[in-house]
Structure formats: structure tokens, C-alpha cells
Structure 1
Amino acid sequence: MEAAAYKLPVPPQGHGAPVTLYFLTGKNYWYQTAFCLWSFAAASKRPLSPTLFDDGSLEKIYIEPIQRIFPSLHVVSAAESLARLDEYLPQNRYPSLRARRLAYPHLKKLLDLHVGQTGYRLQMDSDLLFFKRPDCLLNWYDNPQCPLRAEDIANAYGYPLNMLAELSGYSSVPERVNAGLLGLRSEDFDWDKMEYWCRELLARQGPSYYQEQALLAMLLAGRACIVPDEKQYLIRPEPPEALRCEAVMHHYVAESRRWYYQHNWRRFGVPQNNRKLINSTVS
């Protein structure tokens, strides 16, 4: 998959206003980002103007293959993100968020992409593939009025719902929030609250792999959200859908990654019978 990503052709020419998609990516994920972008461009039939946030490992060798097929690509370096954090989220005022970001890189998807920024941003994880036109996402993108978030298969917050509700100040928080597909407005982040929530979660129950989603659940408490159809924007696809690919989108988490790595990336950019290309090594 990584070898093929270097040789992806330019996707079919899209029409209409360009769509800007945001990713946090690096050397371990850049090829997944490339296939996600390629599949979105082909399915949406819209031109793309992607923005990549460097997770600290996004070197030129990984940027160039994506820029070749998406010439309007914009890359925000790790140094730029750090400078913005120092300006808007100084460590002496936000020690919990800044320390947790270093120990828990998932938090960069919230901090680096939104601190000091404005407007709505459609962001996604790299391990997504699109098979049909994502009308829900495009309609939201063209006229965003409220946040958009994916529906998980179960609550994955790492903390009790009642704790999250108490900290948020609401009677409940939205359930099954998944951070793999988000449309958020940067101005809606209250960083003082985020610092408090981060500190309290750590103090009360310690760190969690899912803390990013817990923070999102509290951020979205009390807000109307656009939630794409979970049967079409599918998290952890299982057979037979995992191979039929009849849904709009798959998000390959946990054991569903086998279908991603062994089969479904081959649907995009590279002819299925071109095994020489798929199996070639990068020079």
C-alpha cells in the first residue's frame, strides 16, 4: 500500500468549489492519508485542497507524493503548530493540555488543528476510504451551521458518562462520539474549560487512550450536531460489507484493518491486475 501511494495517479478532475480536508499525519500514516484523499476526490467529484498538520515526522519524502496529485496541498509544520500553541495556549496557563499533548499525540487533532484558528474545519483520520459520493459531508461543508461528528459503534470515552456530564455542566453528554470524522468550528473551543476537563479527568481517573473522545463529548454537550448515517459512514466494517464496500465510507479500526490492508485500498488509483506496481519497492 505504501509503495503504491508513491505512484498514485492524479484523481479524476472534479467540478465545483474545492473542498479543504484537514489531517494530522506523519511518516506512519502519510500513505493512508493519500488513499483517503484519493478516494474522497474520486467519490465526491470535487477538487480538493488538503491541509496536513505535521505530527512531527512528516518529511519531504512523504509530502511530495501527495503534493504531486494534489498540487494545492498546504502543510502546517510541527514548528508552526508549536509556535501557535505557545502564543495562544502557553504552557504556564494550560499545563495539563500541553503536557498531555506530548504524552498523548491524539490530542494534537484538537489542539494543533484548532488553537488560534477560525471557521469550520472538516477533519478526518487517515484510515478512511470513500466508495460513494459523501453527500452528507458535502452538504455540511457547503453550508455548515453546527458541528458534525461520526457515530461510533459504542461509547469509547475511557471515563464514566456521569463524570463527563458533571464536568460539562449538562445533564448528559452525547453518546458514541467518534473522533475519526469531525466538522468543528475552531471558535467553539473554550480552552479554559478544556484545560479544566483535561486536568480533572487525569486527577480523578488517570489517562485514557480515548480521552480525546471524552473531551469531544463534553465539548459537544448541549449542541445540535449533524450525524451521518452510521450504516453509510461505517466504523469497523464487518463481512460481507467489509468486502462489498456498498456503504459511502469505511473507517478501519480494530480487527477491520485486515480488510483495509489486504483488499480495499486496491480499489483506488491502481488497476487491480497491476500486481507489479502494487508489489514494487520504492526506489
Structure 2
Amino acid sequence: MSTDIEKYNFKHIARKLGLGVAFYRLYYAPKGYLEKLMRWGFINTYLTNVGKKRMENATFQLPSISVNQSSDILDIYFMTGKKYWYQTCFCAYSMIDQTQTNIRPIIYDDGTLEEIHINEIIRIFPNAKILYLKDIEPILDNYLPTSKFPYLRERRLKQPLLRKLTDFHVGSQGWKLFLDSDMLFFKPPTFLLNWLKFPDYPCYMVDIFNAYGYPQDLMTSLAGAKIPDLVNIGIFGLKSEDIDWEQIEYWLKNLIETEGTHYNVTQCLSAMFLAGKKCTVVPAEDYIVMPNQEEVIQPQAVLHHYVADSKPGYFRYAWKHII
């Protein structure tokens, strides 16, 4: 508890002094890395970093996906950049490999994709569509002008995960299924394919605990409805035109002014958006968030989402099942 209070006070002092980013880089980022090092161990951390590099190198060996021009296309959406492009490729490849469906990855550039990454994405997925940051920002200026949506525009720059909402859905229409890159498919994702073909309600996967970053009583008060538990937006299906951006801006403003900024603000806003709505919940037993070591080494589920302390298993073992 004392650690939580210390962290809370430290963040608020930093924010008042306008030194939040500097303090994070000088204090919390190194502190977080050391804590992770202690949990994982030095050898496991080293082997995880080696596995990460091997996974990236292996992406260049993934075969090109053949495209069936005669069948209907189902789109899946990703956001990626030079740090995650290979994970995006493995996720999309593993999904397509497990289906007999014509799936097209639509990939939003976070502004860091380089030519070598783009070339490989197109080689592996000849029907992929890449949307570049320079093309997205004019749309944001039109639909979310900074003068009217200052919190969304400012937080989007400092917290790129917020682009899961803004960049994918602003000025757009129709249902979209977003997937995090750090996931792999091991069996046909029948549940997701059915949703893609016949979407009717928002779709999300089940987390291992409520990772919203903000008090649920505050979230409930702002949303005016009970916040659903265990929302994880590693899999997140939404209908773009259903989002009320003025409401999202109002929520974000109040969250920040009351509790400050938080890494999980996108998941918080998403859970608030889902409050009181009928949803399609992805079955947790088949689509696992943070699989244990046994499940990583011998996958039984349809999908794994490798968050937090399941990362070592992801980089050391899991991707090799796909290759």
C-alpha cells in the first residue's frame, strides 16, 4: 500500500511540475525494467531477448499467403510499427493459416514503419492494406479538431494505444475487428469468424483482472451504467459510427483531471463505452489472456494473448509452433 501511495504522490508532483515524461524515463521506466528483471530472472530475460530477435528474423521466412480472388473478404485490423511489425505478421499469418477464409489484414502505421517492414508485410500478405500516419492525421483534423477535442488529440500523441479508438474509427463506418499484435492462433477461430461474418454487438475478450487504471466508481459515475468486468481489448469489435466522440472527450477530460493519466486509459474508455450495452464476449477458455507455461509449450486453446509475464514464453517458445 505504501508503494501505491508513493507512486500516486510521485505522479501528481511530476504532473504539477510538468515533468511527467522526464520522471517516467528517469525513474519509473528503469524501476519497471528492474522489477521485471527480478521476476523473470537474468537468464530468462536474456533468452527472451534472444527469442525476440529470432522471431523477427523468422518473419522473413514466412511464406506468402495465396489470395482467393473469388471468395468474400473478411478484414481484420492491426496497428503496428517497427517495434511490433513481425508480431503483427505472425498473428495475422497464424489466423489465416488456421482458416479457409479469405482474410485481409488492414494495418495502421504508427508512424515508424520502414520500407523493409512494408515490403515484407506486402510479400507475406499480398492483399494487405496499409494506412499511413500522414494519411490519417488529416482525417483527425477534420473530425476531431484539436480546438474541440484537446484531450483526445493530446493523449493520442502521448499514449499511442488510444489510436485503437481514434485512428480506426474516426470518420469511418461499419464494423471493425481489431487485434493486438502479440497474439497467436493455434486452432480455427470459429467464434471470431462467425462474428466477422455476422457482427451484431460489440465484441471483446476476457481479461484476468480489471485492468482499467481508474476507480470503477468514477467510471460508473461518468458512464451512467455498470462497467463490465474483465474487458480486454486485445480483441475488440466495434461499429465506428456508434462512437460518440464528444462523450469520449468528456470522459477523458474528467478522468485525467480527477485521477491523472494512466497507461490503460484506452481500455478504461472502451469499458465505459460498453457499459450498459449488450456485447459478444469471446470465450475465455478458448481465447486465453496470459497463458501459463504449460499452455504456451503445448497449446490447447484457439488463441493466446501474451501479456505481462507470459512474454518470455511467447518469445522463447510460442511463435515456433507457427513457423
Q: Shorter-chain TM-score category?
A: over 0.9
Structure 1 residue 258 and structure 2 residue 319: aligned? no
Q: Which amino acid aligns with 1:92?
A: S
Structure 1 residue 165 and structure 2 residue 220: aligned? yes
Identity %: 43
Name the counterpart of 2:148.
93
- Post-superposition offset of 1:239: 2.7
Contact 2:228 2:271 in 1 (8 A): yes
Q: Distance in 1 between matches of 2:129 and 2:170?
A: 17
Q: Which amino acid aligns with 1:42?
A: D
Q: Distance in 1 between matches of 2:286 and 2:190?
A: 11
Which structure shows the bigger proportion of residues in helix conformation?
2
2:245 to 167, 186, 191: 191
Name the counterpart of 1:241.
295
Contact 1:12 1:41 in 2 (8 A): no
CA RMSD of aligned residues (A): 1.3
Name the counterpart of 2:171.
116
Name the counterpart of 2:108.
53
1:106 to 161, 173, 184: 161
Q: Which amino acid aligns with 1:198?
A: L
SS in 2 for 1:158: coil
Q: Distance in 1 between matches of 2:293 and 2:223?
A: 38
Contact 1:13 1:45 in 2 (8 A): no
- Post-superposition offset of 1:80: 1.0
1:159-205 CA distances to partner (integer Å, 9 max, x unpaired)? 111111110011x1111111111111101110000000010000000
SS in 2 for 1:19: strand
Runs of 4+ in 1 over 3 A off after TM superposition: 11-16
Name the counterpart of 2:205.
150
Q: Distance in 2 between matches of 1:81 and 1:72?
A: 20
Name the counterpart of 1:276.
none
Q: Distance in 2 between matches of 1:120 and 1:33?
A: 20
Q: Which amino acid aligns with 2:73?
A: P
SS in 1 for 2:141: helix
Contact 2:73 2:102 in 1 (8 A): yes
Structure 1, gaps ≥5 residues long: 271-283
Q: Which amino acid aligns with 2:160?
A: P
Map residues 55-70 of structure 1 onto 2, 5 A cutoff: 55-70=110-125
Name the counterpart of 2:20.
none
Q: Distance in 1 between matches of 2:255 and 2:309?
A: 28
Q: Which amino acid aligns with 1:106?
A: L
Structure 2, gaps ≥5 residues long: 1-54
Q: Which amino acid aligns with 2:270?
A: L
Name the counterpart of 2:280.
226
Map residues 201-216 of structure 1 onto 2, 5 A cutoff: 201-216=255-270
Q: Distance in 1 between matches of 2:56 and 2:234?
A: 21
- Post-superposition offset of 1:11: 4.0
Of residues 44-53 and 218-227 in structure 1, the stretch that sits farther from structure 2 once superposed is: 44-53
SS in 2 for 1:263: helix
SS in 2 for 1:44: coil
TM-score w.r.t. length of structure 2: 0.81
Structure 1 residue 200 and structure 2 residue 254: aligned? yes
Structure 1 residue 140 and structure 2 residue 195: aligned? yes
Q: Which amino acid aligns with 2:123?
A: R
Q: Distance in 1 between matches of 2:141 and 2:291?
A: 40
